[in-house]
Chain A
Amino acid sequence: MGLWMPGAQMEAVLRHGEATYPHECCGLLLGHPAADARAPRRVVEAHAMRNANASSPRNRFDFDPKEHLAAQRQARERGLEIIGFYHSHPDHPARPSQYDLDHAAWPGYSYLIVSIMEGRAARGEAAARSFELAEDRSHFIQETVETTGTAGSAPESA
């Protein structure tokens, strides 16, 4: 499996995480599901969502369900599908937490996590990692992320 993502969309996710720091950002990965078991899910657009968790936005996120429903409809009207979700871990590594596992939806989505350290996207491979949920929901499995154009990491100067 794996995730294929235009570099510009990965950059958008990292910039979203920096913009909301020290709060978590979150969003949808819109695109096309894997054509077969070995093909990647293909992102067309990273669609920013509002972090609706007002009580603890530094270490929690959730989607407003009605905004999620509306975004799902809009994506469908554009011929896109929700193939995954992203969120940031402010000052934490891009690894799923137990809380992420406890609140995951179904296997078959990509769960992209970006690490924002002291307000800036982590460098290199540590910036963004993607995972899918095991069929028995017991753990996440890291999947490959292939980006085109600009690299997935933050630029050296911006």
Chain B
Amino acid sequence: MAIKVFIPTPLRAYTDRKVEVEAQGQDVGEVLEHLMQAHPQLRGQLMNPDGQLRSFVNVYLNDEDIRYTGSKKTPVKANDTLSIVPSIAGGCPAAVASGRC
């Protein structure tokens, strides 16, 4: 089945500026694979060279992080939505003699 996938702002450069696209599959892995086949430039943004999701890429099926629901094997059903959300973190290192970050 086809479900809706929400695309974060910088990645819309690879989805013809679309905020949401439809992708097909029975589970999250299939949906992501279909999404990347339809928009090949997304693959390098979402995946490491070894085919795993990049460490800062979070994927939510509705309100649930797929890491806690079966990862790519999480089944999808009609009217589900998939959201791609980056982890956001940063900051200075511990105070150092130079006072520079």
Distance A91 CA – B101 CA, assembled complex (angstroms): 10
Stretch of B22-30, B32-40, B56-64, B72-80 at the chain-chain interface: B56-64
Given contacts A72-B83, A106-B10, A109-B9, contact A95 B63 (CB under 8 A): no
Given contacts A83-B9, A93-B100, A96-B101, contact A62 B89 (CB under 8 A): yes
A92 in contact with B10 (CB, 8 Å): no
Residue on A with the closest CB to B55?
A: A103
Interface residues in A65-103 (C-beta closer than 8 Å to B): 65-66, 68-69, 72-73, 76, 81-83, 85, 87, 89-93, 95-100, 103
Q: Which residues of B contact A (CB under 8 A)?
A: 6, 8-13, 19, 45, 56, 58, 60, 63, 65, 83, 85-95, 99-101
12 contacts between A and B (CB under 8 A): A24-B91, A26-B90, A65-B65, A76-B6, A81-B19, A82-B8, A83-B9, A85-B88, A92-B100, A93-B100, A95-B100, A97-B92
Q: Which residues of A contact B (CB under 8 A)?
A: 24, 26, 33, 53, 56, 59-63, 65-66, 68-69, 72-73, 76, 81-83, 85, 87, 89-93, 95-100, 103-109, 111
